[in-house]
Amino acid sequence: MSIPTTQWTPTHGDPYRPVPYRPERMPAAESLARAAELRERMDRRRTVRQFSADPVPEQVVRDAIACAATAPSGAHQQPWTFVLVKDPEARRRIRRAAEEEERISYEGRLSEEWLAALRPLGTDEVKPHLTDAPALIVVFQQRYWLGEDGDKRKHYYVDESVGIAVGMLLSALHLSGLAALVHTPSPMRFLSEVLGRPANEKAFAVIPVGYPAADCTVPDLVRKSLDQVLKEV
Ligand code: IYR
């Protein structure tokens, strides 16, 4: 199956030129069956912090990133860059810098209330998954568009857009059989330096990807019930 490619250009100022959209309608019975199955499969996703060293098929990760990049975005500005970090030295530098920031956080930058909220997750400043997970994606948000001639154009709803894209990335990875973790070291400026990203990009999240280790454990969490999160009025 070949996937059509499109040539993106910045669209600021272009006229409205709609085209027909006629997806085939799914019968309700099939929708119900798919939704129920999807709900169960999504409920089986867990954030993983202990990864197996087994390699993952790289194309699965690329396809998941392609899924994420279909996310809706403010003014369709698609304000994201996904960096798939393969260079072991870059990964070591990311781990070293992230652990240093996290050590400062855990040793005093985080409030007592914040540390208490983290306790049931069992996290600390040691982040072996940054070097040991078979794949590492660093997501950057483009705060503005930067042309080759230095031309700048503001992007809108960047946090929302990139947040939606990361949600779609996590769903795509999970539904393709891979586990992941969203890590947000703070501050994250070092990621731009290590990965050589331009001034219009700001790191958003670091996402190790792989299979859970054979002895992987996860916190014994309980999800809110649908009643708690859904209000019908
Ligand atoms: N960034 C730190 C602390 C942390 C914060 C939250 I909010 C979490 O959900 C998990 C961890 C760390 O990565 O350990």
* Residue pLDDT, tens place only, 168-218: 999 999 999 999 999 998 899 999 999 999 999 999 999 999 999 999 999
User: How confident is the model over 73-104, as pLDDT tens digits?
Assistant: 999 999 999 999 999 999 999 999 999 999 99
- Where does the pLDDT of residue 222 fall: very low under 50, low under 70, confident under 90, or very high at 90 and above? very high
CA of 114 to the centre of ligand 1 (A): 9
Indicate whether 233 pLDDT > 80: yes
- Both tokens of 85, joined, read 């970090």
pLDDT value for 7? 83
What mean pLDDT comes out for the span 3-22? 85
Ligand 1: residue whose CA is nearest its atom 6: 118
CA of 203 to the centre of ligand 1 (A): 16
What's CA 150's distance to the chain center, in Å? Answer: 28
What mean pLDDT comes out for the span 205-232? 98
pLDDT value for 10? 83
Indicate whether 1 pLDDT > 70: no
Does ligand 1 come within 6 angstroms of the Cβ of 11?
A: no
Judged by DSSP in three states, 78 sits in coil
Does ligand 1 come within 6 angstroms of the Cβ of 118?
A: yes
What is the identity of the amino acid at 170? L
Question: pTM of the entire structure?
Answer: 0.96
User: How confident is the model over 58-67, as pLDDT tens digits?
Assistant: 999 999 999 9
User: How confident is the model over 107-162, as pLDDT tens digits?
Assistant: 999 999 999 999 999 999 999 999 999 999 999 999 999 988 888 999 999 999 99
Report whether 84 contacts 62 (CB < 8 A).
yes
Q: How many CA atoms lie within 13 A of 198 on its CB side?
A: 12
pLDDT value for 2? 64
Task: Identify the CATH number of the domain defined by range 47-213.
Answer: 3.40.109.10
Residues 172, 176, 179, 185, CA torsion sign? negative
